[in-house]
Amino acid sequence: MPDMVSSIREKYQFTLDQIASAARKSGRAPEGIRLVVVTKSQPLEIVQAAIEAGVRILGENYPEEGVTKIQSLPPQSGVEWHMIGHVQSRKARLVAEHFELLHSLDSLKLARRLDRFAAERNRALPVLLEFNVGGEESKAGWDASNDSRWDAFLPEVESILKLPSLRVRGLMTMPPLGTDPEDSRRFFLRLRLLRDRLASTFPQADWRELSMGTSADYTVAVEEGATLVRVGTAIVGARRLKSEVEAL
């Protein structure tokens, strides 16, 4: 356990340093970027070690797995939980009740359900809209792979902005997996340009957040304007198979 904590602490600090230098390089303040440590498919022991190592924001992909972890920790653990994976409509309640920010809102249908459950809980749920900037079939999010598609989702965005218990805070993307971090740059730029356009179309909303960049390309994402980066394996190591997790 102490070894795990110090190993995570070292990698977490290294990642924060890389973020800070990428920020300075592009004339940004490092404080404007938050590091989400992704613990999906990692056992509770890793989550506990990450918290002990100083991690403050944790990201999960699967609502049930995330909620199990949240409920296994003391209620005042001082960490913030973000949902970063695709959420099925029937899991909307779990997300509306347990997470501080949903990065991956990808349909009006899900938005309506989240709004309803958040209202029942008397809370407002902050969300980011997920866009598919690479146009891959396998990826979630509204298709923003070419400019001619941009107008197609505007009516849905407008409807989401009107939902009283959701708070749109910006955009998120997961670009196609490249072989080089630089391969992601044009996709990150694309998300930023889309954000600027939505901000001018809907100035009533807050579009400040850009969630982009993973272990493979987070420094490029920071150079292109990321305010949230989602880093898993570079900090907490390879994801475990279920059987390995159970054996721990």
Q: Which is nearer to ligand PLP, 40 or 195 (CB)?
A: 40
Please tell me the distance from the alpha carbon of residue 12 to that of residue 219, in angstroms, as a whole number. 14
For residue 119, what are the contacts with CB-CB under 8 A and spacing of at least 6?
Answer: 164, 165
- In whole angstroms, how close is the CB of 106 to ligand PLP at the nearest point? 11
- Using CB under 6 A as the binding rule, whether residue 215 contacts ligand PLP is answered as yes
Q: Does 230 bind ligand PLP (CB under 6 A)?
A: yes
Q: Say how far apart CA 55 and CA 231 lie, in whole Å.
A: 12
| Interface with ligand PLP (CB under 6 A), residue from 15, 145, 184, 214 | 214
Closer CB to ligand PLP, residue 165 or residue 233? 233
Q: Does 85 bind ligand PLP (CB under 6 A)?
A: yes
**Closest residue to ligand PLP: CB criterion:** 232
From 11, 40, 91, 169, residue interacting with ligand PLP (rule: CB under 6 A)? 40
Stretch 165-194 residues interacting with ligand PLP (CB under 6 A): 174
User: Which helix (H) or strand (E) segment is 220 a member of?
Assistant: helix 218-223
- Residues touching ligand PLP, count (CB under 6 A): 14
> Minimum distance between the CB of residue 206 and ligand PLP, rounded to whole angstroms?
22
CB 171 within 8 A of CB 198: yes
Which amino acid, 20? A
Contact stretch for ligand PLP (CB under 6 A) within 116-124, 146-154, 197-205, 232-240: 232-240
Among 122, 87, 100, CA closest to 36: 100
Is residue 18 a contact point for ligand PLP (CB under 6 A)? no
* Phi-psi region at 213: left, alpha or beta (left = phi > 0; alpha = psi -120 to 50): left
Residue 42 contacts ligand PLP per CB under 6 A: no
Alpha carbons 182 and 64: distance in angstroms, whole number: 34
Q: Extract the runs of DSSP E, i.e. beta strands, from the chain.
A: 34-38, 57-60, 80-83, 101-105, 125-132, 142-143, 166-173, 209-211, 228-231
231 binds ligand PLP (CB under 6 A): yes
Residues that bind ligand PLP (CB under 6 A): 38, 40, 61, 84-85, 174, 214-216, 230-234
